[in-house]
Every structure is written in structure tokens, then in C-alpha cells.
Amino acid sequence: MCVYRHTHPHACHAHYGRNLIEGPVEGRQDMAGDEELTLLGLWASPFVIRARIALNLKGLSYGYTEESLYDKSDLLVRSNPVHKKVPVLIHNGKPVCESQNIVSYVDEVFPGSGQSILPSDPYDRAVARFWASYVDDKLYSTWVPVFRGSTSKERVEAATRVIAVLETFEQRAFGECSRSNGGRAMAAFFGGDSVGLVDVVLGSLLGWLQATEAICGVKVIDAARTPLVAAWAERFRAIDGVKEVIPDVARLVEYNKVRRARLGLPLLLPSVELLQ
Ligand SMILES: N[C@@H](CCC(=O)N[C@@H](CS)C(=O)NCC(=O)O)C(=O)O
């Protein structure tokens, strides 16, 4: 287990507020101050990635401890005794579990730091939370067999279903989120002009969604099928505080191979011909 202090490269002298698109502004805003924040994580986990994106967007510095799924630390097991999963954010000794909960927590506890992630209007918040839940309930769960399917057919079929879920984002989520953000049909992000909850939650899966083609031969983020989602993905990936934590495709593909071997699953080669 490696332990190191993670501070976002700009965190000491910049924050990611309304100037997210123009770039960071000088002058450290209210950061965690005397607050002690430590994240227990795993670099490849989309759930950990979303917690890190939220902390980075809030301009908060935090300690980061890389966990191993095979040798969980006592701290992790004590901090998340129910699920024993990462991420866990430990704030002044108190654990906060579940990634979406962590995103909301840092936004609520550090309102003056960085940018707001959740909308202030209760209805807009409800809409954002609906789509954020949909990411985990529908998109992530549909994608899981791409990672651990035991046949190529299973993987390809899962990837194909993922495209259908992304089409729902294309057709409904952009419209609904932008309606709640003043009705502009083509806001840059689900959160409007700056990123919000749905961007953080969906965006944390981008690395794996992009690795899907190398894993099983199916391109799931495809400008021909979902042009709005594809363009959004490019914009989101480029943001400071995001680009540093979304892993490279090659590294994710390698991680998948190692995990499959550990799970006793066959190493399957990409097989697009199964779709034809
Ligand atoms: N619903 C949880 C999911 C977290 C999760 O599944 N974490 C995985 C890593 S991707 C984990 O820690 N797995 C450990 C295990 O299953 O033993 C969240 O949103 O935080």
C-alpha cells in the first residue's frame, strides 16, 4: 500500500470556480484550511475517480492512500465496515462512504471553495440526482460484463447495450439538464456552463468507456451515434482537475487483464465480428 500526499498541482494557488473554462485564477480561495481530508482509493476505480474530481474541482488538498483489493487496510475496513469498498473520504477522522455521497458532502461542507457541483435550486438538484443515479443503476451495471464477462459474446452484447444507455443520455439527459439550467439546448456541460453533478458522476466512467473498444472491439462513445455525448466527453476530459485522474486506455486495458486473471476469467481478444 502506498501512501502519499496528494495536492492538486494548482490547488495551492488556484481554484476551479466559475473560471473553469477560462482556466484557474490566481489567489488561493478558501481551501480546506485546518481540515484534514484523506481519500482511500484505487486509481482505476471510477467511483474513486469521481471523488477525486470533486475534491479537485473544489480546490481542496487531500491525502491519498492507494488501497489494494486483495489486501485491504485496517483503516479501510474500519472506515467502511458495511461494504469495505473504496472510496472512503476521511474528514477530520470521520469516514464518509459511497462516491456520490462524497461528491455531495464536499460540495456541502466547503461551499465557499472552488465551484459548486450541485445546483442550488431544489428541483434542479433533484433532476441532477436522478441522472447521477441513472449512471450507476443503469450505465455502470450494463457495462460491468465488458470488464468481467466470461465470453466475448457477453462482452460485446454488454457494450452494445451501453451504447443504447448512452443514447438515452444523448436524447433525454442533455435536454432535461439544460432545461433546468435556463433552457439553453446546448450548454457545454450537464451542469450548464460549468460542470455539475452529472458531469462528475458520468465523467468518472470515461476512461473505462473509452477503453471498451480496446477491450472488446466495440466503440461505445461514438460521434456517429451520440454526437452530443462524444463532444461533451472531449470537453470534460480536458478540464484541469479531471485530466489528471482519468487513466490512460492502455493502463486500464492492462489492469483489466490482470483482474481477469485474478478472477479466473479467460483473456478474451476483441471480437467485433460477433456483432455482424
Ligand atoms: N457504490 C459504491 C461502489 C464502490 C466500489 O464498487 N468500489 C470497488 C472498487 S471499483 C471496491 O472497493 N471493491 C472492493 C470489493 O468489492 O471488495 C460507490 O459508489 O462508492
Rounded distance between C-alpha atoms, residue 77 and residue 141, angstroms: 24
Is residue 189 in contact with ligand 1, taking CB distance under 6 Å? no
pLDDT of amino acid 174: 79
Output the residue whose Cα is nearest ligand 1's atom 2. Answer: 98
Kindly tell me if the per-residue pLDDT of 19 is higher than 70: no
* Residue 124 burial class via C-beta count within 10 angstroms: exposed 0-12, middle 13-18, buried 19 and up: buried
User: Reading across the β-sheet that carries 3-6, which strands appear in turn?
Assistant: 3-6, 62-66, 37-41, 88-91, 94-97
Confidence category of residue 3, pLDDT binned at 50, 70, 90: very low
Rounded distance between C-alpha atoms, residue 162 and residue 143, angstroms: 6
Domain with CATH 3.40.30.10 in the chain: 3-109
Is residue 180 in contact with ligand 1, taking CB distance under 6 Å? no
Is residue 50 in contact with ligand 1, taking CB distance under 6 Å? no
CB atoms within 10 A of CB 97: 19
pLDDT of amino acid 34: 83
**What is the mean pLDDT of the segment spanning 88-113?**
98
Kindly tell me if the per-residue pLDDT of 269 is higher than 70: yes
Is residue 80 in contact with ligand 1, taking CB distance under 6 Å? no
87 C-alpha to ligand 1 centroid (Å): 7
Output the residue whose Cα is nearest ligand 1's atom 12. Answer: 85
**What is the mean pLDDT of the segment spanning 80-85?**
98
Is residue 204 in contact with ligand 1, taking CB distance under 6 Å? no
What is the C-alpha R_g of the chain?
A: 19
Pick the CATH number of 122-275 from 3.30.1490.20, 1.10.287.3510, 1.20.1050.10, 3.30.70.1450: 1.20.1050.10
pLDDT of amino acid 183: 58
pLDDT of amino acid 181: 62
Domain with CATH 1.20.1050.10 in the chain: 122-275
Pick the CATH number of 3-109 from 3.40.30.10, 3.30.300.90, 1.20.1260.10, 3.40.50.1820: 3.40.30.10
Q: Return the higher-pLDDT residue of 17 and 197.
A: 197
Is residue 45 in contact with ligand 1, taking CB distance under 6 Å? yes
